[in-house]
Each structure stands twice: as C-alpha cells, then as structure tokens.
Structure 1
Amino acid sequence: MTMGLSWQQGPLGGATVGRFLTPEPLPQRLLFAEPLRRRMRVKLAGEWIADSEDVVLLHEPGRYPVAYFPLADVRPGVLVSENRATQHRDLGDTAWFSASVGDRSADHVAWQHTALPEFAHVLQGRVAFAWRAMDAFYEEDERIVGHAADAYHRLDIRQSSRHLVVKLEDGVIADTTRPVVLFESGFAPRWYVPREDIDENSLTPAEGQTFCPYKGLASYYDIGSRKKAAWSYPQAWPEVARVSNLVSFEPDKIDVFLDDKKLVLAPGQSVVPHGIDRGLDPGEMLGRGDKIAHPRN
C-alpha cells in the first residue's frame, strides 16, 4: 500500500483532493520525470547488471515511480532484444528485453520507449527494469524494496488526546483518548489505537498479509462478521516505529467515532495489495532491522 506524487490522491493521481491553480484546465494525465540524484544499482543472479548516478524517475498517474537507467550504465550483453513490442498511451512504441546472467535468464524484464515524443526526450536512450523480476535494487549499499523511492511520499505521526471509539452494533471494541494519527501522502489520516484500549477478544486474526514499502508488513483482523476490519503492523519499520503493534480500524467496515463524529472512508482510498520483492519472505520483512533493511552486497 503506497502513494505519493502520482498515486492515490496525490497531485498527479486520478482522484487528487487538491488542484493546480491555473487559468486553463490541465490535461487529465500528467507525467512527471526528474533526476533521481541518487546512485542506484540493480542485481540479478547475484551480479550487478546496472549501476548509475544518472537515473531518471518517472511518475505516471496511478502507478508506482519507475527508474530509467542510461543504456550506457547497463552491463553489456545482459539485455537481449525480444521480438515483442507494446504501445504506451503517452510515450509510444515500447521495445522489450530479456536478461541473461550466467545460467540464469528471464523474459520480459526490461523495456525502452523507442519512439518518444519530443516532450519526453529525457527518457531517450534509457531502459527500465521490472522491479519484481530483478533480485534487488539498491541506493548506494542499502536495499530498496517495493519500488523506487518516491521523494514526495511523506509520513508524519502525531500523538493525540482526541476521543476515539470503535463500535460493533452496541458493543464497544475500542475506547481511547490517546490515539496516534498517521498522516501519509495521498491518504486521509489513519488513527491507531494502543492494544490496552482495545477489547482484544473481539479481534480474530485473518489470513493474509499485505506489504507497504514505507511501513512494513501488515496483519489483519476480522471483527465479528466484518472481514479485515482492522490491521496492525506488528513490527513496523524503524521510520514509523511509533505505530508498531497498534491497531487501526477501517471506517467503511466498522463504526469509528472521533470526538463523537462518525468517520467515513475517504474517496479513492482503496489500495492494490503490494507483493513482497523477490528473495524476501514475510518473516524477513517482520524482522527488518539493519541487516534486513540495509543488507550489504
């Protein structure tokens, strides 16, 4: 679950809550490209196949940021042209590549836009790699998981003394005056409750977990007949450790009241579950410490 400049309700997303103050309407779709200004490397079959300080990050509405590498910074001989071409709705003809490293080969793992319109010349001579087809991506010596880091994605966590109550019909599931609120780019505020203020007997662990590149691995709970009505990050990543093991409740699945006002799920807040990167399993994600978050080559 993630968002930023072009995802969810971000400025370039399809359901933004803000607007650009311009005299003329903007196009329905805006693409934004900028230098990443970070060294980025790609590993496949245990070997570095791309290493660049000249990566361009493309933000496209409704998609995760994509890193484009200069072909000159890709290891020679790794990419093999395929007899496969597709059309990008904004960027035109797209050629595809397979990759071969030693005894390992994989199809449809990289692409290049070969007939770019003039406005997109910054992507000329660049190639992008399918994130989950690679073994890992790194910024300097630290592994980046999920997708290329979005510089416009921000999380702020604040302690609150507001009165939050969660109810199922006439029963009280949670009652607290010390909720923690998490503000995340593109999302409405999410309220987290300490477990001491929850009737934990009402929480039934649900099957399945989801992965957020910014917060870690989330577990879910059913509440009565309400499926996955609550979630928790048992071991949230260090950057958001304040919400570790707290519980948040989905206001479209269960009644959540903040200072006696019933909350509703903000429009455009549904998310596409994010898969875990190649070579990482749920146990490793939960245990993300220095060795997991920042594995060395």
Structure 2
Amino acid sequence: MKLLRYGPVGQEKPGLLDAEGKIRDLSAHVADIADDALTPAGLAKLAALDPASLPEVTGNPRLGACVGNVRKFIAIGLNYADHAAESGMAVPAEPVVFNKWTSCIVGPNDDVKIPQGSTKTDWEVELGVVIGKGGSNLSEAEAMDAVAGYCVVNDVSEREWQLERGATWDKGKGFDTFGPIGPWVVTKDEITDPGNLKMWLEVDGKRYQDGSTKTMVFNVATLVAYCSKLMTLMPGDVITTGTPPGVGMGQKPAPVYLKGGEVMTLGIEGLGDQTQKVTRA
C-alpha cells in the first residue's frame, strides 16, 4: 500500500494511492496515518479494504507529510562511505545518531525556507524508515518486524550550525521546513530489498546526487536494532538513514549551497518523488 495524508496544513486527512494513481479517502476507516494505524494490525485492516470502494479525492490536493503525530524523527549520519569521504570524515565504526526536531516536518512539495542569516543550507536525499510495531532492545533478526514501511526524506541541513557552532549536529538539522517526508509511506511488503534502491536529487535540473541504498554502511535492520537500544521505538517514529554523495558541501572545487529561488527535486526507486521551492525565511 501507499499511504498518504492530503489537505491544507494542519487539516490533513488520511488516504491511499490506488493502482491507477488516484487518491482514495480513508477518513471513514482511520483517523490519521499515525499511531495504531501503522501497527501490523492497523495495516492489515487497511490492506483488507477494496480501494475502489473508497471515495475518490478529486482535483490536485496538497500532500502533507506522509506520517502524522511523529514522536521521534531520528537521523543517521555518515552512513554512506562515499559521502563520508566527500565530507572529509571517517566511516563510523557505529551509527552516528542525531535528532531532527519534529517541528521541521513538512509535506513533500512544501517550500523549504533558508533560515535567517544562513549561507550554508544544503540538501540530502535519504531513505526514511517508518516504525510500525516498535519496541526496545530489538535484535537485528527482530528489527524488520518493527518496520511499517519506507518513504523519501530530504534531510535539509544548515552546515554552519551543524559543524561550526559547537559539538552537536542537531542544531543544523531541525530548522523549520528542514524535514520534507513523503509523498507516501510505501508498506514494506512492496519493497523487496530496501538495501538496493536507486536515489537521486537535482537542483534546478542539475543532478547532484545519483546513488543507491546498496552503498549504505549500516543496513535498515542494523539501524533499527541499534536505535532501539537507545530508545523505545514507537509507531510513527521515522528514522532517516543517511545520504549518498553529491551534497552541496562536497562539491568541487567549491561547495554549492542554496541561496533561495531554486527548485529541488528528489526521489527514491519505488517510493515516489518530491519537489520543493527554496525560499528565505
């Protein structure tokens, strides 16, 4: 299934994308694409529905963030060896874990706003893992049972605040609008191998990132199990799993950062794509 949320900001309704690419309204069956709806029992209930029996949503509604009521937006750094190299950093022996504040989450096609005074706002296409069953202290063998599905994430980053303003990355990762997620959650049964998905990102039509999840240092099961040792994972938590090379910070001979007015487009094989206009706060 491809589960989504549509409608004005703060008034999103739950929906799914049918086989013909039409949005179907799930409001009569679930309050939101969040919480218990993402558990195995909740997904089974939705999977049993006949999409043709659901009301069709006409027009071209705004797509909201594909998960509502996200409690934790967990991020993994330097999880692609080639990205670590372009960043001038060592491949980590253990996952690098940081937070993106949930207030940064926006829809997949909403504007991304450069923070006041920023000169180093950057892009990162990433595979997002949406937690369904959750739990703590999971083994790698148990980890995939905790996953509801996957989505596209743009881990927008302000590099000065991330790397030059103290020791914690979190400061550069959670500015408002720095977390577009969606367009939909694709349930894990539709993704045969999350470790072999093509991914890409363009700015104003120029392709900067052109990679694959197959070059991840730590795979999805390892990351879910590792994070579950640090915190209890809950339905609707999102783990964004790192980016391949091609970020603005790594461009040669000089870094390329967003200035405002650009259009970012990005996507992952089987998970859809996003388009964001870059503005200034």
TM-score (norm 2): 0.27
Higher strand proportion: 1
Q: Which has the higher contact order (CA 8 A, sep 6+)?
A: 2
- Asked which structure has the greater CA Rg, the reply is 1
